[in-house]
């Protein structure tokens, strides 16, 4: 029996005014699968990721993540706040610029959503936070404030914070792009271990060696269209489409 995909996107479209940013995107990710989204700046990668988290509302199409399904466009019902909150809680998002709460300690950052959204008792949320801080290699930073941390440490806290909602999928939007080169490795190591633990992930990245190593599937986007997709080593080492080849040439 075929395993049902964890993420299923079909016919997804999004425009900002006259600008067609996503044009008929279709995408599936298997449970435990890792997909790397690559492509030039402005190709729609962030918008696609934001649609998966419903930070951006698509114009058309449907998205299913686990048991949660939404359809968009004429004849579909508007998003209820309740369903939206449940959906967001199930998709952990990690951004380029960490977005930690500066007024909360590291452990405060991680326990905030489980306590407010999931109504988790404080002691339980803190135990979970410590477990996650250990997982990302920062158990001794629990009481520090974000301003005291390096970029790599902040990003690892942001990953722990997203994991604290126990999401079914994790979305990473250029999670290492704002880091000094010597700090990239520690964040990629955490992402790699998540992948090995079986987390379903969609990763927007410019780290081609990492994508090749960790992703099962690479998707190359340009101008809101999926131009090429396939097994990571094939797309990266032997791209078939001239646009994919031209893009990847920048990384060799």
Applying CB under 5 A, the residues found at the interface with Mg ion are: 46
For residue 120, the Cα-to-chain-centroid distance in whole angstroms is 24
Q: What angle do CA 53, 131, 154 make, to 5 degrees?
A: 60
Instruction: Using the rule CB under 6 A, give the single segment among 16-24, 127-135, 177-185, 206-214 that binds ligand ADP.
Output: 16-24
Contact between 58 and ligand ADP per CB under 6 A: no
Which of 203, 15, 52, 18 minimizes the C-alpha distance to 62? 52
Contact between 21 and ligand ADP per CB under 6 A: yes
Contact 130, 165 (CB under 8 A): no
By CB atoms closer than 10 A (0-12, 13-18, 19+), residue 8 is middle
Would you say 54 or 132 has its CB closer to Mg ion? 54
Q: What is the dihedral of CA 107, 177, 170, 241, to 10 degrees?
A: 180
- Choose the contact partner of 153 out of Mg ion, ligand ADP, none; CB within 5 to 8 A by kind: none
Contact 228, 246 (CB under 8 A): no
Among 6, 35, 44, 195, binds ligand ADP (CB under 6 A): 44
| Residue at token pair 């959503």 | 113
| Residue at token pair 């979305």 | 171
Instruction: Indicate the pairing of strand 7-16 with strand 19-29.
Output: antiparallel
Among 41, 77, 80, 147, binds ligand ADP (CB under 6 A): 41
Q: How far is the CB of 38 from Mg ion (least distance, A)?
A: 11
Would you say 14 or 141 has its CB closer to ligand ADP? 14
Would you say 43 or 176 has its CB closer to ligand ADP? 43
Number of residues that bind ligand ADP (CB under 6 A): 11
Contact between 108 and ligand ADP per CB under 6 A: no
Q: How far is the CB of 21 from ligand ADP (least distance, A)?
A: 4
For residue 20, the Cα-to-chain-centroid distance in whole angstroms is 22
Q: How far is the CB of 41 from Mg ion (least distance, A)?
A: 7
Cα separation, 87 vs 34, whole angstroms:
20
Contact between 244 and ligand ADP per CB under 6 A: no
Would you say 46 or 244 has its CB closer to ligand ADP? 46
By CB atoms closer than 10 A (0-12, 13-18, 19+), residue 21 is buried
Q: Extract the tokens encoding 171.
A: 């979305």
Contact between 161 and ligand ADP per CB under 6 A: no
- Choose the contact partner of 127 out of ligand ADP, Mg ion, none; CB within 5 to 8 A by kind: none
Among 9, 27, 46, 113, binds ligand ADP (CB under 6 A): 46
Please give the residue ranges that form the binding site for ligand ADP (CB under 6 A): 16, 19, 21, 39, 41-47
């Amino acid at each position: 029996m075929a395993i049902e995909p964890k993420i299923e996107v079909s016919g997804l479209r999004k425009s900002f005014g006259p600008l067609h940013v996503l044009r008929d995107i279709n995408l599936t990710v298997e449970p435990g699968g890792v997909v790397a989204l690559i492509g030039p700046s402005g190709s729609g990668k962030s918008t696609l990721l934001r649609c998966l988290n419903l930070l951006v509302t698509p114009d058309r199409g449907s998205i299913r993540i686990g048991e949660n399904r939404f359809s968009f466009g004429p004849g579909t019902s508007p998003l209820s706040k309740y369903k939206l909150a449940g959906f967001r809680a199930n998709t952990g998002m990690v951004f380029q610029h960490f977005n930690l709460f500066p007024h909360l300690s590291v452990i405060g950052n991680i326990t905030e959503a489980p306590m407010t959204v999931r109504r988790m008792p404080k002691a339980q949320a803190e135990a979970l936070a410590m477990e996650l801080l250990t997982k990302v290699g920062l158990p001794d930073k629990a009481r520090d404030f974000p301003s005291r941390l390096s970029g790599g440490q902040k990003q690892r806290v942001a990953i722990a914070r997203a994991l604290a909602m126990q999401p079914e999928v994790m979305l990473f939007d250029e999670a290492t792009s704002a880091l000094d080169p010597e700090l990239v490795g520690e964040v990629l190591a955490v992402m790699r271990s998540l992948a090995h633990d079986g987390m379903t992930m969609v990763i927007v990245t410019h780290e081609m060696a990492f994508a090749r190593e960790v992703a099962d599937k690479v998707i190359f986007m340009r101008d809101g269209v999926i131009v090429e997709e396939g097994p990571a080593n094939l797309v990266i080492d032997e791209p078939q489409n001239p646009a994919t080849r031209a893009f990847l040439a920048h990384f060799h």
